[in-house]
Structure 1
């Protein structure tokens, strides 16, 4: 190494640890996610989706007259926020399952983060296909004559 002085070589410091060491640091991301979801639910709870003009109409419903898996989701969230579980289930039962599923997954995440363990939930192809099949069956049944009880 010509022209390089041994004193001019620099040793790079070790990279900073990317995992937070404190409980507060470990819970920062789950708390941020909860704040965002709570803000969305607060908005939908305040601005009634049952009144026209506040939210856009589902494009699939407008064009084809068919209910997509998300149709009624905002009305369901509004009823859920106001504690009317029967109306929430009537507007979109799968959305209520999703709300409760989010609560369970978030709680497991927080407990694991508080204990310093990684929150891992593997979405294997089998689980994704199963979820897709449930959504497909829900969508088909709610659009058939005998599935009228699933209409929003």
Structure 2
């Protein structure tokens, strides 16, 4: 009977590892300010084209979130701010499944949802680089 808690603990290794890695990344970005020149490389897409990619501003967004500056984070990259709770939800769902001894889902999501997310990323990318979408590019 003692094998169930041991199996659950073993199943939690991967989610715990992801949590530790994510916390380490956020802690590093919180300490090493991406607003200061020379700490992080420039976005290759931005450097080559002069246009912002969907991820431009994400480091500064994480830095602002780590310091509790939610409005600044939204102004820097609203898409990143929207993805943080979504990623937390999927991590939590994975962790609960592992804690209950259930296997991880074999299918990530409905393909329509994946295509919807892809379309939203592409629309965000396009709009933030158009004159009327300048408020999305900080």
Q: CA RMSD in A?
A: 1.8
Partner of 2:129: 143
What stretches of structure 2 of length at least 5 have no aligned partner?
A: none
**Greater relative contact order (CA < 8 Å, ≥ 6 in sequence):** 2
Query: What is the distance in 1 between the residues matched to 2:44 and 2:10?
Result: 41
Which of the two has greater helix per residue? Answer: 2
Cα drift, residue 118 of structure 1: 2.0
**Structure 1 stretch displaced more, 137-146 or 114-123:** 114-123
| 1:43-102 deviation digits (Å, cap 9, x = unpaired) | 001000000100011122122211100100100010111111111111111111222111
Partner of 2:43: 58
Cα drift, residue 124 of structure 1: 4.1
Partner of 1:125: 111
Greater radius of gyration (CA): 1
Partner of 1:69: 54
Cα drift, residue 123 of structure 1: 3.5
Query: What is the distance in 2 between the residues matched to 1:73 and 1:81?
Result: 12
Matching residue within 81, 85, 104 for 2:70: 85
Query: What is the distance in 2 between the residues matched to 1:111 and 1:125?
Result: 23
Question: Is residue 44 of structure 1 aligned with residue 21 of structure 2?
Answer: no
TM-score, length basis structure 2: 0.89
Matching residue within 3, 12, 15 for 1:27: 12
What stretches of structure 1 of length at least 5 have no aligned partner?
A: 1-19
| 1:8-45 deviation digits (Å, cap 9, x = unpaired) | xxxxxxxxxxxx95221111110011001110111001
TM-score, length basis structure 1: 0.81
Number of aligned residue pairs:
134
